[in-house]
């Protein structure tokens, strides 16, 4: 029950009983009874039942490397029954590399160079990989006159007097770009293998597709298995197309898959889940998911970032090129597209790579690894038990002290219950609550 409601009940009850005693007893008896009752029945115990425990829980979690940015989130955490996660750089390891280039009326180099031209100012990880791959091969990247990025969909730029678009196939088609049936067939085949496919459109015609691939993040797979074992509902929310997402998601045994979502649409899906009665925790390591983090009951940011080998600082440029080429050849050995136009990506040339932007954290809770989610769960479960005990201590203090206050009304009370005694009783109650809250330290793991 809300603290304000308890204060209102305390005030009204005190006024009624004081008025009754005033008209049936002496004035000093009415004053003593009213003040004592107001002090004893105050919700101070309930007010301190949660904050002290949650502060102690924060200290316990801080020692685990878990940062609590909003204390109220710990209270909400115990009610979470649904966990929503993204796909790229979370369920997959984020080490994207280009596997297939399928040009239409262009050379492979021209396709990749034009796509890199469009993606040179993109914020999305796939766009950055395309740009870095083209730059690594020394391909020509033209200047652009204007650029517009649609989060979760693609980019649109004007370069050399032409409008160029690079993005997921459905979005490119929705912009009036004609994607031929042969390209659509190739897109379907690539998606079946769990690859992410982007279409390059110049003017009103699609001029080719670029397929990218990364591997399953086994830490995330284990995380989802533990969530299922603990009866959480798991939901994937991604900008990827339905075929690509479902091809990858079958490895994770998810309860629901929501595809073709922009960041704003992810937030809308979270709100829909909440409207259906679910308490939702959104877990991500991408700041692009800020809208979904903002509307979730509990927002959790994974500090651990999956960084592509393309930007690993402790490798030489030649080693990076050799490593990417080896991964590419291994992938192409597994997958083949039955079309002469589908050409493997070429060996990257060493080049200077742009630095990643610093991560801006927007979540209630920051965790270093996914396994810390369950440390929070165990700590919050312990905290909930202590909070419940604190409330019982408050209720018991009322049961014991309120009759002593009302004993003043009796014709011959055994003793006179003064407001100072009421203050002492409340102080003892708060002391017991504090001592009980200190037991939270034993929850440290």
Q: What is the pLDDT along the chain (445 residues), one digit of tens a residue?
A: 466 666 677 667 777 777 766 666 767 777 777 787 788 887 788 888 888 898 889 999 999 999 999 988 888 998 999 999 988 778 877 678 898 999 998 899 999 999 999 999 888 878 889 999 998 888 888 888 889 998 878 999 998 888 999 998 989 999 999 998 889 999 888 887 778 899 999 999 999 999 988 777 788 888 989 998 999 999 999 887 777 777 767 778 888 889 888 889 999 999 999 999 999 999 998 888 999 999 999 999 998 654 333 333 333 334 444 444 444 444 434 433 333 333 333 434 433 333 444 445 579 999 999 999 999 999 999 999 999 999 999 889 888 888 888 777 777 767 777 888 888 988 999 999 999 988 887 655 4
Whether residue 431 sits in one domain with residue 385: yes
Last residue of a domain, one of 265, 280, 299: 299
Whether residue 254 sits in one domain with residue 293: yes
Whether residue 280 sits in one domain with residue 245: yes
pTM of the entire structure?
0.64
Tokens of 344: 């493997």
371 located within any domain: no
Whether residue 175 sits in one domain with residue 107: yes
Name which of 57, 53, 65 is nearest 372 in CA terms: 65
Half-sphere exposure of 361 (CA within 13 A, CB side): 18
295-350: pLDDT as tens digits: 999 999 998 654 333 333 333 334 444 444 444 444 434 433 333 333 333 434 43
Tokens of 390: 């604190």
134 located within any domain: yes
Domain containing 27 equals 3-56+380-443
The strands making up 280-284's β-sheet, listed across from edge to edge, are 67-68, 365-367, 298-302, 280-284, 82-85, 233-237, 256-258
Whether residue 315 sits in one domain with residue 209: yes
Whether residue 177 sits in one domain with residue 31: no
Domain count, the chain: 3
Cα–Cα distance measured from residue 264 to residue 292, given in angstroms and rounded to the nearest whole number: 7
């Amino acid at each position: 029950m809300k603290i304000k409601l308890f204060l209102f009940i305390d005030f009204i009850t005190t006024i009624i009983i004081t008025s009754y005693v005033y008209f049936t007893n002496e004035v000093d008896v009415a004053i003593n009874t009213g003040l004592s009752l107001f002090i004893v029945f105050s919700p101070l115990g309930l007010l301190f039942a949660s904050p002290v425990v949650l502060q102690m829980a924060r200290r316990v979690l801080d020692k685990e490397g878990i940062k609590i940015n909003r204390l109220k989130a710990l209270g909400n955490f115990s009610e979470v029954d649904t966990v929503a996660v993204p796909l790229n750089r979370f369920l997959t390891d984020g080490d994207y590399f280009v596997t297939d280039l399928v040009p239409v009326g262009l050379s492979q180099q021209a396709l990749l160079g034009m796509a890199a031209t469009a993606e040179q100012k993109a914020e999305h990880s796939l766009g950055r990989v395309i740009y870095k791959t083209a730059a690594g091969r020394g391909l020509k990247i033209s200047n652009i006159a204007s650029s517009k990025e649609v989060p979760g969909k693609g980019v649109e730029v004007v370069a050399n007097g032409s409008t160029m678009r690079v993005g997921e196939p459905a979005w490119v088609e929705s912009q009036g770009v004609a994607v031929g049936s042969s390209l659509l067939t190739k897109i379907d085949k690539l998606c079946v293998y769990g690859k992410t496919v982007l279409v390059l459109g110049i003017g009103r015609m699609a001029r080719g597709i670029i397929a990218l691939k990364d591997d399953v993040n086994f830490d995330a797979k284990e995380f989802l298995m533990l969530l299922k074992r603990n009866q959480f509902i798991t939901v994937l929310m991604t900008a990827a197309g339905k075929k690509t997402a479902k091809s990858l998601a079958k490895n994770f045994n998810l309860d629901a898959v929501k595809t073709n979502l922009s960041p704003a649409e992810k937030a809308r899906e979270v709100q829909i889940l909440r409207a259906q009665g679910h308490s939702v925790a959104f877990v991500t390591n991408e700041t692009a998911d800020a809208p979904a983090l903002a509307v979730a009951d509990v927002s959790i940011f994974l500090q651990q970032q999956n960084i592509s080998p393309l930007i690993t600082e402790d490798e030489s440029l030649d080693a990076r090129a050799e490593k990417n080429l080896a991964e590419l050849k291994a992938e192409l050995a597994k997958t083949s597209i039955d079309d002469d136009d589908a050409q493997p990506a070429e060996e990257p040339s060493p080049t200077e790579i742009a630095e990643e932007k610093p991560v801006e954290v927007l979540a209630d809770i920051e965790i270093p690894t996914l396994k810390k989610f369950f440390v929070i769960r165990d700590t919050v479960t312990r905290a909930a038990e202590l909070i419940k005990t604190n409330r019982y201590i408050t209720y018991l203090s009322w049961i014991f002290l309120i009759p002593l206050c009302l004993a003043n009304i009796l014709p011959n009370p055994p003793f006179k219950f003064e407001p100072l005694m009421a203050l002492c009783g409340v102080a003892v109650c708060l002391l017991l609550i504090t001592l009980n809250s200190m037991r939270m330290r034993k929850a440290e793991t």
